[in-house]
Chain A
Amino acid sequence: MAVKAVKPYRFPPRDTVEKFPAPLLFIGWEDHFMFVAPICVPVPSEAPFQVVIDKVLPEAYGQHPDFARIEWDKVEWFRSGEPFRPDPAKSLKENGLGHKSVIRFRTPGLEGIGGAYF
């Protein structure tokens, strides 16, 4: 469908990649609502995926008591909702992640504070 308008109606998208310091990556931690919503972080597409685990996630979620207990080899990853196995040594781009990609991770056995997914 298209916008109905009295004149041609076309405007550039506001959030294209060149406007940001690096492409945006959105990340959600399943069963953990303390930080309410998926996070939004700029991460260079050449950075190895390991950077997400070593740097991005500890900065975002390190405050959470469950975070230190994560067993990273058991973590389940999802890309746009589909199960996916990132290669930590390869870049974000090689792992199929581009500007505004969304990934989620599930940490089996960890279901947040008080069993309330917090």
Chain B
Amino acid sequence: MSDVFIALQDTDEARPIIEAILADNPKARLTHSPAMVKIDVPQRLVIRRRSIEEITGLPFDLQRIHVSLISLSGHIEEDDDEFVLSWKR
């Protein structure tokens, strides 16, 4: 089973996104490098808008992740509520 990954900047704005990913993907593995965070998950990684909003208490547009995104792998599916990376869709 292959991993998908997402890399985000290690910034204040990205922190709730990172937290939400770790909460919603129990198999997530986090690696810190200077200035960035890489998260690997087997097969499928999901980012949920609601989870981020629950952490910050503010409305969040999923497209805002573009501001913090560094890199990713896998196929992408995005709608208003979820952003999903996966292999073999």
Please tell me whether chains A and B touch each other in their complex, using a CB distance cut-off of 8 A: no
Name A's B-contacting residues (CB within 8 A): none
Name B's A-contacting residues (CB within 8 A): none
